[in-house]
Structure 1
């Protein structure tokens, strides 16, 4: 398991991109229309998600895992609350959980 990126849900992809690019000088690494953009934050990716890609309501750490079903089961056994069940996204498998304190975490694995 490795920290893959930080996920920020947004009402407007354009507004958030402008904020991160102009305010912090981050360069775009990838963009999927008006739904998602990835920015380079010096070794960490900042993911901005709008429209159907807003899979949670607060900023969340995204962990890339080899076996998403096993990792999800371990988190649930450790007290996580399932917020969004395992699903196939446009570029990955993903699920969203909350820690016992209510912090959102996104699990992700390659298709």
Structure 2
């Protein structure tokens, strides 16, 4: 698995966006209405999430499950290593995703294409 982005929960994307684009100078890569906005932060995408895309309350790394592996197997592997499931795998608008907690209690989001 590779970390593909950092989910950054916000109350309102329109209100939050100027800080990231104007003050930090991050260009917008993709926007999906008022729920998701991907910003180019170099090696990592910073994703502002609101509404139904706000899966976490604090910033969290999101990992894409490798092609050929399924999300259930990845969840099983992480739980065996000490993670706990905070939100079971469910289909979102573009992918299946789950929220886990690391052994230290931090949120970690997994996603996989259906």
- Range into which the TM-score falls when normalised by the shorter chain: over 0.9
Question: How many residues align structurally?
Answer: 111
- Structure 2 residues without counterparts, runs of 5 or longer: none
SS of the residue 1:20 aligns to? helix
> In the alignment, what sits opposite 2:51?
51
- The Cα offsets for residues 61-86 of structure 1, whole Å up to 9 and x where unpaired, read as 01111321111111111111211110
Structure 1: how far apart are the matches of 2:4 and 2:113?
A: 12
* Uncovered stretches (5+) of structure 1, i.e. residues with no partner: none
Normalised by the length of structure 1, the TM-score is 0.95
| Aligned twin of 2:16 | 16
Alpha-carbon separation, structure 1, partners of 2:88 and 2:53: 14
Distance 1:59 1:86 in 2: 19
Q: 2:109 aligns to what? A: 106
TM-score computed with the length of structure 2 as normaliser: 0.92
1:89 alignment partner in structure 2: 92
Moved over 4 A (4+): none
- CA-atom RMSD in angstroms: 1.0
